[in-house]
Structure 1
Amino acid sequence: MPFLRRWYENLAVVAHTDLESDNGSPFCRREVRREVGPLREHDDRVGGPTFRNRKGRGPFRGRMYSEQQAGGRQRHRGGGGGPVPRARLEDDDGDVDMNDSGQDSGAHQRRFTPYGGRPNRRGDNHYDRDRGGGGNAGGHRPGRGGPPRKSWFKMTIPYGKKYDKTWLLTALQGLCTVPFTPVQYHCEGNKVMFYVEDATTANALCKVSRKITDTEGYKVSVIMHPAPPPASVLNELKPEDLEHLKQCMSKRFDASQQALDLNSIRTDPDLVSQTIEVILNRRSCMQAINKIIEENVPELLSLNLGNNRLYKLDEVSELVSKVPNLKILNLSNNELKSERDLDKVKGFKLEELWLEHNPLCDHFKDQPSYISAIRERFPRLLRLDGHILPRPIAFDVEAPTTLPACKGSYFGSEEIKSVILRFLQQYYNVYDSGDRQPLLDAYHDGASFSLSIPFSLQNPSRCSLGDYHKDSRNIKKLKDPTTRFRLLKHTRLNVVAFLNELPKTQHDTSSFVVDVNTYTNTLLSFTISGVFKEVDEKSRDTVRAFSRVFITVPAGNAGLCIVNDELFVRNATTEEIRRAFATPAPTPSSSPVPTLTAAQQEMLSAFSLQSGMNLEWSQKCLQDNEWDFNRAAQIFSQLKSQGKIPDVAFK
């Protein structure tokens, strides 16, 4: 076996080689002596069929390096030029772990756990970097010296976007045993996310999960994930950088005009000379700008943010409350892609706005549509991209307004009131009696009935209105016409049979509010709203709110016969629950409203049908024209063609 003999001789030469440092002193010496003998007497560097073998690597676990290759490797490490054995790791005492020489990195990682940590299961250095280790990024590894990094955690609130930020954070802090400061609070889809900077706080927040109940009865979940530090923290400006930024902004401020010019601030020579990067599409940088503005120039009238590569306005929107008098805003030469981005800053009462050279400007077919879309958000705008706009037609109401107090029920006349109250008393006496079969006398032979619950509660697994879910005919949810038809109950027998399947109830008649929608000699439509509680065993004393529309026709003995019945059920609010069954009152009260004659009621219904306006605006139009139908129709047509009738008139 001449080949093997030569190979062992070479191995002996390599193993006896002295490795020398630059000054010639040996820093590593190892002697490896092997007896040349039969193959079975050698160590596991050479293996036959009975030894470990790697696919595609032949019978040798190591690799052979020529003296020239080994010398090149030693020179690369800064040592002498002689051949060296291939070794992965060096011990502190200078020994070389020969058992690891020549093995591939994958096998080494499978057998060796560096620094006492758990193995890197990703096959790269991301795990070390995420946990604060160095990897190839130069970070500090545990146990290797250097200051330890803080551990960050991302907290996720599923479906948290629907909650008000202040309410959500207050509720979390109220139950969390550790005070916390949310960092980089933001939404991703329907989720809310923010960061906390230590495990104790993250674990305390996790214990709050499903202990908060929202107004719809859902439990608020809190999920924790380890995470690298948020970008806003990594990119935070140092205190000395903030001072330089403040000085730079003072040079760009025109006190006579109360104007601040931050155009292309990233390339400002004062900042560049200090190697300070102020990139306004970074949250931390824009928040630093906001703080300086709030503390120093709250009376700002003009702000130029052009040429700053802004692609969102989330942080800019925080200035709406900080500089309420801002009149001029320049956002030109940025990266805003949609006019919907402007919704975040539409709280500004702007008179001049610059948007040119943003991608959103290319989305409009013509100039009028562009102006209309922008002015929809800023109705007081007088100049857009330097062009003077026509003065807006608007009602300038500076004083805060409040909604008028509820006026109670509206019947239209004492005669109608008497008929409706008598009907409701009889109907709900039977409905709450436990046996609803006598309600057959209240419905027309061809009557129809439908039930619906709120659209947001259509998920049966999360719905607290489970008894009503399967029969809900909410047309915002159901698009299939077959399903819609199936859920509509036809004929009085089917209607009453279905009513008998609903939970047993007790209605609070003192909560009833009645509104008459339409009244003619042959038709009476009215809506009744209020609260009730369920008295079944499984849901005893559960308070619900309801709204019900009855469409009726005259029946014998001045009674009413139901032809259409629409019932809407929802969870009662906290205030409704508090007031339910508190002060019993026999009947709902009426409001002092003008009484319409039967002829006026018919004219009102016809005018509303032809004009498309609601009854309130139709009645106002007829009254303004002294109930002259033709003249009212002519005036309506003129005002509509001029666009002077508000949208609220058609709702």
Structure 2
Amino acid sequence: MADFGLPVSVTPESMVLTMPLYLFADPQQSVSSTNNKINALRKFTQASDSNTLWYKFIVRNSTDYTKEFILRNLLDNVSSKYVPIKFFTEKGDSIFYAKFCLEPVMSYIRQNLTVRVPLNKVLLKLEIEVGTKDEVPDLNINDLVALAVQRRVASSFTALDLSSFHTDPELEAYCFFPLSIFNNLQKVIKCADHFAVTPFTSLDLSRNKIKIIHGCFQEKLTNFMNLRVLKARDNELSMSSMQAITHLPLLDLELDGNPLCELYEKELEYVKDIQGMFPSLKTLDGCPLSSQGIFIVRQFFCKQPSAQPFLEQFLTHYYSIFDSDNRHLLLGLYQSDSTFSLTSTFLPGQSTSTNANLNDYLSESRNILKLCDLTKTDDLLYKGNKQILEFLKKFPKTQHDPTSFTADVLVFEPTHIKISVTGLFREPHNNFASVRFFKRNFVLQYFNKVYLILNDMMFITNCTSEQAVSAFRVKHPEPADPLDLHLTTRSTHIPLSNEQKVKMVEKISDITNMNQEWGRRCLEDVQYDLRNALVYFQKHYEEKSIPSEAFLK
């Protein structure tokens, strides 16, 4: 008997009636032994009913590896795909079943039933029992997939969550159905399109190791042609894949964790290329884009989505005033008992550089570790909005680079908010000064129906060489005079002109991603108080009472 379980001379009729065909690896593979196995396999399958022919795969000594690791690598090593069924482990081996596997099994035979995983230096050694007599439940995979897809549709019927689809509990209990296999992805998308109650506006494909999406979103799949949100984090997508879906009117796109992101050394080049393909894009990788197509906040770490509109509005408003000739407007952002302190120091090796002069900041630095006279600690702690404003007005004229900002909302409570922000700025009237780095910690307290700054701690130093190269790569338009938006009640405001109202509508639309018609409605409901409008928006956003058309532009 041959090493693969049957003599080649056995007739097809007798093979069907006698025993399964067993395939093993050769100690020393030869062309002859490989051809003999393939010929025997073909004869065996020709004499069998393919609809009832089961293949049993045994991966020897493999229980140190996860189910997904084993199955993905086996599937990745053959061009013709199959669906692994009923995976289990037994005595150190991993075992599963499959049907319609002639081409894949022949491919494994050509690899001597050994699959190499170079990255992990792993050898997966296979034994295959063709025509196994084991009892395998023969469920309809298409029905299981259809049920899994229907479970992933949101109650609103407009959002479809296919993230980590292969881990769907009821589907995974029977088979391994990864969307990284194009035919599987295509089948799932067509299934969702068929069962859709209303066109989808949001699709989540995250964490599926998808490489190809060409052809999945054809025009005949009408229920996917109105997608506004596509989440595709942690896949294996290339730029060519993205170019295949540029017909989708996306407003929100998530791509981080894909190889295409590694093609770019500079974030701005990545943003430019993606927005070139999707001109209507408002949010990329969770970060809002400004009207100039750049990140409003480059990195946003807040876990509470409802905090983001407030953060964006606060930073935009605060630094537009700080960089303008109207710093006196900052008076209304601080309380009468607010405190402010500044610390500053040189980076190692920079103290002797001509353009690294920090005298304007060092003289006011409240760095207790470096103060020779500790009695100054109280003098350098500024108290009250008027004292703080006088100090801030003495600062050199500044220009901040919003694309350099990183921000986090550490606490977002009804009574108080804690914000941390870092970034770069320069002194436009000082041609010899280097670009500065800053860190700012704000504590805001809810007072008289608005949030006011209770504590403000600032740190300033010179930026690193790497930061200097990336700073101010995007040319920003000259900021208009900031609106006088004090954090006080509406009744004390000077009546707004039509031009100011238009600017406020544009601003709230940019911050919330609502269209301008709904932005205007929101402002009108609170008598054009921008901060109250944002609170109003957050409340209804959390209650999911804002209709989807409010975000269509």
* TM-score, normalisation: structure 1: 0.27
Q: Higher strand share goes to which structure?
A: 2
Based on CA coordinates, which of the two structures has the bigger radius of gyration?
1
Which structure would you say has the larger RCO, counting Cα contacts within 8 Å and 6 or more residues apart? 2
